[in-house]
Amino acid sequence: MDDLEILVRLNLSGMVGSSLLRRLLEHFDLKRIPRLSRRDLERVPGIGPLTSKAIVEAPDPGPEIALAARHRIEILPS
């Protein structure tokens, strides 16, 4: 999974905004985040059971990225 796919997937979780993303990146490398367990995620301040579940179960970002490409929408990571 490339960086954009990871960021879109986190966004699709519905629980990760810019502050939480910053905290995640203070604890983990971006490439590692998709492989983390709920327990690993819950070690980050501000991530509890609901948020960790949403992150772990976030949908595949492929369809969202493909839809943006079909409509010539560029996804800009923050």
The pair of structure tokens assigned to 64 is 């969202």
pLDDT value at 57 more than 80: yes
Q: Residues 58, 29, 41, 16: what is their CA dihedral angle, to the nearest 10 degrees?
A: -50
pLDDT value at 78 more than 70: no
Find how far residue 40's CA is from the centre of its chain.
14
pLDDT value at 51 more than 70: yes
Q: Is the pTM higher than 0.75?
A: yes
Ramachandran bin of 5, using left for φ above 0, alpha for ψ from -120 to 50, beta for the remaining angles: alpha
Give per-residue pLDDT as tens, 4-35.
Answer: 999 999 999 999 999 999 999 999 999 999 99
Give per-residue pLDDT as tens, 29-46.
Answer: 999 999 999 999 999 999
In the chain, the domains with their CATH numbers are 3-70 (1.10.150.20)
